[in-house]
Amino acid sequence: MPTQAALYDISPPISEALAVYPGDTPPTREIICRIDRGDPVNLSALHATVHLGAHADAPRHYSQDAPGMDACDLDRYLGRCQVVRVAAHPRQLLTPADVPAPITAPRVLLATGTYPDPTRFTEDYAGLTPELIDHLQAAGVILVGVDTPSVDAFNTEGLPAHHACLRTDIHILEGLMLSDVPPGEYELIALPLRLVDCDGSPVRAVLRTLPTRP
Ligand SMILES: [Zn+2]
């Protein structure tokens, strides 16, 4: 009998409690219709940054002429993925030496543990160096995901990790929750919305365990 696949939900809950990057637009929900007030339906409008919780950065986010969210290939966000736990300290800039595990999948999620609470924005999360992005590209990686608000450390001038991703054609997921996920290989499912020309999109990111072979 095949073992039932398990799902890890790696998306933080979206509510008005969710923290966003300083200066960005936090989520607010406007309730337009309410059944308990006599309306035939409940109906809400959501106002928020597209970089909300677990989200994809479209290359348009960091380069004016780069593809918007709707132009990004969905294959990036769907398929074989490796979760790698790194022993990061606050504000650390991660290099290839900090990721000693062999890269075995085309999508890599780095669990740094440096941004533990999605309802409280903290500035001391770890970032990625361009050298690490180059290392991932050399290993065949097409997507990198982080458990922090950004692949660049807070207030990093010039966003070097984002631009390294542009140069190496690696797409980015940010704001993931990876603390409960054991390292190893999974299937990633994290499809962005088809937002035309947009600089990013929220995703519902999940990891599905791979079928065990008999
Ligand atoms: Zn970003």
Q: Dump pLDDT digits (tens) for 28-76.
A: 999 999 999 999 999 999 999 999 999 999 999 999 999 999 999 999 9
- pLDDT (tens digit per residue) in 101-139: 899 999 999 999 999 999 999 999 999 999 999 999 999
Structural class in CATH, domain 7-12+50-209: alpha beta
4 CA from centroid of ligand 1 (Å): 34
Structure-token match 């692949």, residue found: 151
At position 70, the amino acid (one-letter code) is D
Ligand 1 ion: Cβ-proximal residues, 5 Å cutoff: 57, 150
At residue 99, the pLDDT reads 94
CA–CA separation, 136 and 87 (whole Å): 17
Residue 171 has pLDDT above 70, yes or no: yes
The Å distance, Cα 120 to ligand 1 centre, comes to: 18
**pLDDT (0 to 100) of residue 3:** 63
How far does the centroid of ligand 1 lie from the alpha carbon of residue 143, in Å?
A: 13
Determine the Cα–Cα distance for residues 141 and 60; give it in Å rounded to an integer. Answer: 20
Share of the chain above pLDDT 90, in %: 94
pLDDT(1) > 60: no
Active site residue 89: no
In the chain, the amino acid numbered 80 is R
Ligand 1 geometric centre to CA of 57 (Å):
5
Strands 206-209 and 7-9: antiparallel
**What is the CB neighbour count within 10 angstroms for residue 2?**
8
What pLDDT score does 125 carry? 98
CB atoms near residue 165 (< 10 Å): 25
What spacing in Å lies between the alpha carbon of 3 and ligand 1's midpoint?
A: 36
**Residue-level pLDDT at 212:** 76
Beta-strand ranges (E) seen in the chain are 7-9, 28-33, 43-47, 55-57, 78-85, 93-94, 107-111, 127-128, 143-146, 171-174, 184-189, 200-202, 206-209
- Residue 185, beta-bridge partner list: 82
Q: Give the domain ranges of the chain.
A: 7-12+50-209
pLDDT computed for residue 179 by the predictor: 96
Residue 180 CA to ligand 1 centre (angstroms): 23
Distance 171 CA to ligand 1 centre (A): 10
- Tell me the per-residue pLDDT of 181-199, one tens digit each, with 9 for 90 and over: 999 999 999 999 999 999 9
Question: Distance from the CA of 41 to the center of ligand 1, in angstroms?
Answer: 36
| pLDDT at residue number 105 | 98
- Radius of gyration (C-alpha) of the chain in whole angstroms: 18
If you average pLDDT over every residue of the chain, what do you get? 96
Cβ within 8 Å of residue 133, ≥6 positions away: 144, 151, 161, 164, 165, 168, 170
Residues 6+ apart with CB under 8 A from 49: 20, 21, 24, 25, 26, 27
**Which of 47, 51, 55, 61 does the annotation list as catalytic?**
61
